[in-house]
Amino acid sequence: MNQLIVKDLCKTYIVNKRQNNVLRNINLTVNEGEMVAVMGPSGSGKSTLLYTVSGMDSATAGKVNFFGKEIEALDPEEMSRLRLTEMGFIFQQMYMLKNLTIYDNIILPAYQANAGQKKKNRTQINERAKELMRKLGIMEVAENDITEVSGGQLQRACICRSLINRPKMVFADEPTGALNQQNSKEVMRELNRINGEGTTIMLVTHDSRVAAKSDRVLYLEDGNIKGEMQLGKFENESEIRNRERKLSGWLLEMGW
């Protein structure tokens, strides 16, 4: 089975000649089609873990095998290509180019991935972008500037952009952190839907309502995985209160 496998991962920063061990011998596996949430107190290393396993930051020690590829063995160009074509990214801060429309921001990574390819490929990319935008309910803002849409619409556009190259896995860092409750619900509905269609997702969140919709929750503290909870696939909204209650009880046990 295709998976993300992390073995003995360490990340150390040197600050003022002092060693700061942000991640300490992390071992984890994320299976294909799984949705895993990472929780823990501020400063526990959640975002560092996400950036290190996705190759956005380099590990100090340990191994990361991304669906059969040892990422520490890749040179910068190969790593950049892997991130562009096999990984998708969603951040709390919705980074988009201000001089491009919503639609152009979404197709840009696919045009970059297919640079030098035939014109037919661009037609397919354009159709895929429109299909994603229709699915996420933002087709009507395709030609808008990024300042002319709501936060929820912009984050859904970021999801479209993360999926444009059909990635094996999406990494999301606080994807609902800047959104109100209603927009947060809509974004999670879309993440659950794309996960149900087979896209593997690893997300960092401080929101237990968001984490309750994942298959499994990892609790990180002081750079270590202190525990994990299996919730199983989120099927429908009727079970959300029970899942939230179960997760909240476990988080209290963890010291949340």
**What domains sit in the chain, N to C, each tagged with a CATH number?**
33-46+75-254 (3.40.50.300)
C-alpha distance from residue 148 to each of 67, 102, 107 (Å): 38, 9, 18
For residue 18, the model assigns a pLDDT of 83
**Rounded distance, CA 61 to CA 167, Å?**
26
Q: What is the mean pLDDT of the chain?
A: 92
**Rounded distance, CA 176 to CA 173, Å?**
9
Percent of the chain with pLDDT over 90: 75
Determine the distance from the C-alpha atom of residue 215 to the mean position of all C-alpha atoms in its chain, rounded to a whole number: 14
Mean local confidence (pLDDT), 58-77:
94
- E strand intervals along 127-193: 169-173
Q: Is-contact 161 109, C-beta < 8 A?
A: yes
**SS3 at position 22:** strand
- Could you report the per-residue pLDDT of 224-234, keeping only the tens digit for each? 999 999 999 99
For residue 122, the model assigns a pLDDT of 87
- Could you report the per-residue pLDDT of 142-178, keeping only the tens digit for each? 999 999 999 889 989 999 999 999 999 999 999 888 8
- Could you report the per-residue pLDDT of 209-254, keeping only the tens digit for each? 999 999 999 999 999 999 999 999 998 889 999 999 999 999 999 9
- Could you report the per-residue pLDDT of 71-103, keeping only the tens digit for each? 999 999 999 999 999 999 998 777 889 999 999
Q: Is the pLDDT of residue 17 over 90?
A: no
**Rounded distance, CA 152 to CA 175, Å?**
10
Neighbours of 251 (CB within 10 A): 18
For the entire predicted model, the pTM comes to 0.92
Q: Is the pLDDT of residue 119 over 70?
A: no
